[in-house]
Amino acid sequence: MVRKRYPPAYLRYVKKHPAITIRLTAELKKVLDNSRGKMSYGEFVKKLLMDNQTLIKKVYENGYKKGYYEGYDVAMDIDHFTVPCPKCGEDMHFKYEDPDYWERVIAPRLEAAFKDFRHAKCPTAIVSRP
């Protein structure tokens, strides 16, 4: 069988505008036809997709902000942290009850333990803290 040859312009068009095919039940096709009004199927799908992009973006941003602030509030309520004991493995609880002890003992040890850690976006040069 001989393959049909197409002009280059047609092949470029097909590559830039891929076709999709969907199968609907008769009931869904009626719903689609009623919803699209006088628009073509292509125009209706384009409008549906473009209008929903804005909606999807808003929903995502609102959900992200809500989750961020809820998580931040929970984190701010935590006034302690736990680490496993190197000898027995049970949790040791450190609380911020005594500011003097925290500043004198806990904070310097934490800074020493995490001195080599940094954000991925931060420069490798160490910045001294005031």
pLDDT tens per residue, range 70-102:
877 777 666 677 777 777 878 777 776 777 877
Work out the widest C-alpha separation in the chain, in whole angstroms: 89
How far apart, in whole angstroms, are the C-alpha atoms of residue 37 and residue 5?
Answer: 38
Q: Is the pLDDT of residue 55 over 80?
A: no
pLDDT band at residue 65 under the 50/70/90 scheme: confident
pTM for the whole thing? 0.38
